[in-house]
Amino acid sequence: MSELLKNGETKKEKLKEMLKKLHWGEDEDKVKEEFKDVLQSISPLEIPLIEQELVKEGISSREIARMCDIHVEIFRESVKGAESEVKELPAGHPLRTLYEENIEIMKDAEILNLYASSLLNLEGKNRSNVLRTLESIVRGLKAIGYTHYNREEMIHFPYLERRGPTAVPAVLWRKHDEIRSEINRLLREILKENYEEIGKISQDLASRLIDMVFRENNILYPTLKVLLGEGEFKAIRMLDDEIGYYKIRPGDEWSSNAEPIMPYQIQEEITVEQLMNLPQYLIEEMKSKMGEVKSEPDKTGLIREGDVELEDGYMLPEEISAVFAAMPVDVTFIDKDDRVRFFSGGKRIFTRTTSILGRPVQLCHPPKSVHIVNKILQAFKNGERNRAEFWINMQGRKILIQYFAIHNKEGEYLGALEFTQDVADIKKIEGEKRLLEWR
Amino acid sequence: MSELLKNGETKKEKLKEMLKKLHWGEDEDKVKEEFKDVLQSISPLEIPLIEQELVKEGISSREIARMCDIHVEIFRESVKGAESEVKELPAGHPLRTLYEENIEIMKDAEILNLYASSLLNLEGKNRSNVLRTLESIVRGLKAIGYTHYNREEMIHFPYLERRGPTAVPAVLWRKHDEIRSEINRLLREILKENYEEIGKISQDLASRLIDMVFRENNILYPTLKVLLGEGEFKAIRMLDDEIGYYKIRPGDEWSSNAEPIMPYQIQEEITVEQLMNLPQYLIEEMKSKMGEVKSEPDKTGLIREGDVELEDGYMLPEEISAVFAAMPVDVTFIDKDDRVRFFSGGKRIFTRTTSILGRPVQLCHPPKSVHIVNKILQAFKNGERNRAEFWINMQGRKILIQYFAIHNKEGEYLGALEFTQDVADIKKIEGEKRLLEWR
Residues of B in contact with A325 (CB under 8 A): 311
B154 in contact with A, Cβ within 8 Å: yes
Entry field: residues in chain B:
439
Amino acid A294: pLDDT: 45
Question: Using a CB cutoff of 8 Å and minimum separation of 24, what contacts does A22-28 make?
Answer: A22/A63, A22/A66, A22/A67, A23/A63, A28/A70
Q: Is B343 on the interface with A (CB under 8 A)?
A: yes
B384 DSSP β-pair partners: none
- Interchain contact A402–B (C-beta under 8 A): yes
| Confidence check: pLDDT of B76 > 50 | yes
Q: Do A406 and B322 touch (CB under 8 A)?
A: yes
How far is A312 from chain B, CA to nearest CA, in Å? 6
Among B63-67, B96-100, B342-346, B364-368, where is mean pLDDT lowest?
A: B63-67
How many Å from the N-terminal Cα to the C-terminal Cα in chain A?
43
pLDDT score for A22: 77
Say if A122 is an interface residue toward chain B (CB within 8 Å).
no
For residues A196-218, one letter each, b for 16 or more C-beta atoms within 10 angstroms of the residue's C-beta and e for the rest, the string is eebbebbbbbbbbbbebbbbbbb
B262 contacts in A (CB within 8 Å)? 354-355, 357-358
Q: What is the pLDDT of residue B12?
A: 74
Nearest-angstrom CA–CA distance, B167 and B171: 6
Chain A CA closest to residue B428: A427
A263 near B CB under 8 A: yes
Q: Is the pLDDT of residue B157 over 70?
A: yes
Residue B5: pLDDT over 90: no
What's the pLDDT band for B184 if we cut at 50, 70, 90? very high
Q: Which residues contact A115 (CB under 8 A, 6 or more apart)?
A: A61, A130, A133, A134, A137, A202
For range B352-373, the mean pLDDT = 93
The pLDDT value recorded for residue A251 is 93
Interface test with A, best of B296, B407, B435 (most A CBs within 10 A): B435
Q: Which of A386, A395, A438, A439 to mutate to test the interface with B (most CBs of B within 10 A)?
A: A438
- Chain B residues closer than 8 Å to A327 by CB: 329, 331, 404, 417, 419
CA distance A426 to A397: 11
Please list the ranges in chain A whose pLDDT falls under 70: 1-8, 43-49, 51-52, 55, 61-62, 65, 68, 71-83, 284-295
Q: Enumerate the residues of chain A whose CB falls inside 8 A of the CB of residue B232.
A: none
- Inform me whether the C-beta atom of residue B133 falls under 8 Å from chain A C-beta atoms: no
Q: Tell whether the model's pLDDT for residue B397 goes beyond 50.
A: yes
pLDDT attached to residue A26? 82
Q: Which amino acid is at A284?
A: E
Average pLDDT over every residue of B365-389: 94
Does the CB of A312 have a partner CB in chain B at under 8 Å? Answer: yes
Q: Report, as an integer, the average pLDDT of B44-65.
A: 69
Does B296 touch chain A if contact means CB atoms closer than 8 Å?
no
The answer to whether the Cβ–Cβ distance between B313 and A342 falls below 8 Å is: yes
Rounded to an integer, what distance in angstroms lies between the CA atom of residue A27 and that of residue A20?
Answer: 12
- Indicate the angle between helix axes B280-289 and B167-192, nearest 10 degrees: 100
pLDDT of residue B15: 76
Residue type at position A77 = E
Amino acid B292: pLDDT:
45
Residue B413, chain A, CB below 8 Å: the answer is no
Select from A418, A329, A396, A48 the least CA-distant residue to A213.
A48
Those of residues 1-30 in B touching chain A at CB distance below 8 A are none
Interface contact A330, partner B, CB < 8 A: no
Flag whether residue A164 sits within 8 Å of chain B, measured between CB atoms. Answer: no
B351 touches chain A (CB under 8 A): yes
Interface of B with A in 208-247 (CB under 8 A): 235-236, 239, 242-243
- For residue A359, give the nearest of B158, B343, B406 by CB distance: B158
A-chain CB neighbours of B228 within 8 Å are: none
Does A356 reach chain B within 8 Å, measured CB to CB? yes
B358 contacts in A (CB within 8 Å)? Answer: 262-264, 300-302
User: What pTM does this model have?
Assistant: 0.83
Q: How far apart are the CA of B241 and the nearest CA of chain A, in angstroms?
A: 10
Instruction: State residue A7's pLDDT score.
Output: 60
pLDDT of residue A75: 61
* Chain B residues whose beta carbon lies within 8 Å of the beta carbon of residue A372: 435-436, 438
Q: Which of B169, B390, B406 sits opposite A434 (nearest CB)?
A: B390
**Which residues does residue B400 pair with via DSSP β-bridges, in sequence order?**
B391, B421
Give the integer Cα–Cα distance in Å for B261 and B242.
Answer: 16
Substitution target from A356, A375, A413, A422 for chain B, most B beta carbons within 10 A: A356
State the count of interchain CB pairs (< 8 A) between A and B. Answer: 315
pLDDT value, residue B86: 87
Residue among B76, B204, B198, B206 at smallest CA distance from B141: B206
Distance from CA of B325 to the nearest CA of A (A): 9
**B314 at interface of A, judged by CB pairs closer than 8 A:** yes
- CB contact A306 to B (< 8 Å): no
CA dihedral A168, A171, A174, A180 (to 10 degrees): -80
Q: Residues of chain B with pLDDT > 70: what percent?
A: 88
> Do residues A153 and A176 lie in contact, with contact meaning Cβ atoms separated by under 8 Å?
yes
Please give the residue that has the higher pLDDT: either B4 or B199: B199
Do the Cβ atoms of B417 and A339 come within 8 Å? no
CB atoms within 10 A of CB A62: 9
The distance of A410 to chain B (nearest Cα, Å) reads 11
Which residues of chain A lie closer than 8 angstroms to B392, CB-CB?
Answer: 432-434
Distance separating alpha carbons of residues B33 and B74, to the nearest angstrom = 9
Q: How far is B246 from chain A (nearest CA, A)?
A: 16
Query: Which of B169, B404, B429 shows the shortest C-beta gap to A400?
Result: B429
Supply the pLDDT for residue A363: 93
How distant is the Cα of B122 from the closest Cα of chain A, in angstroms? 31
The Cα of A118 is separated from the nearest Cα of chain B by a number of Å equal to: 29
Quote the CA–CA distance of A318 and B200 in Å, as a whole number. Answer: 54
CB-CB neighbors (< 8 A) of A394 in chain B:
none
- A353 and B402 within 8 Å at the Cβ level: the answer is no
Answer yes or no: do B242 and A353 touch at CB < 8 A.
Answer: yes
Say yes or no: B264 contacts chain A, CB-CB below 8 A.
yes
Q: What is the mean pLDDT of chain B?
A: 87
> Under an 8 A CB cutoff, do B435 and A159 touch?
no
- What pLDDT shows up at residue B254? 96
Residue B340: phi and psi, rounded to 5, are: -65, 125
pLDDT tier, B82 (very low <50, low <70, confident <90, very high otherwise): low
Q: Are B187 and B317 in contact (CB under 8 A)?
A: no
